[in-house]
Amino acid sequence: MRHLLDNLERWYTDGRTFALATVISTLRSAPREVGAVMAIGAGGEVLGSVSGGCVEGSVYEVARKVIASGGRSRPHSA
């Protein structure tokens, strides 16, 4: 997450809306470790990665819905 902090601070300071997804657990082998993060901006910008392939696409879609609704989402198992 540290590698994203400068950009996230800029987004926050600028008052930009964004969602932040974090890997909180994994099963068996996984492409990213617990703690991996992905930030999705209201304009569709992406910082970081939580997986790759269809999992990342699913996280992106949920994040966009949460941003559009202005609400929060419970953790998902993608």
- Of residues 75 and 52, more confidently modeled: 52
Q: For residue 53, what pLDDT is reported?
A: 75
Asked whether 41 and 16 are in contact (CB, 8 A), the reply is yes
Q: For residue 41, what pLDDT is reported?
A: 94
pLDDT tens for 23-69 read: 988 888 787 888 899 999 999 999 999 987 788 899 999 999 999 98
Would you say residue 74 has pLDDT above 70?
no
CA triple 31-51-75, angle to 5 deg: 120
Domain limits, the chain: 2-69
- Of residues 78 and 49, more confidently modeled: 49
Q: For residue 31, what pLDDT is reported?
A: 79
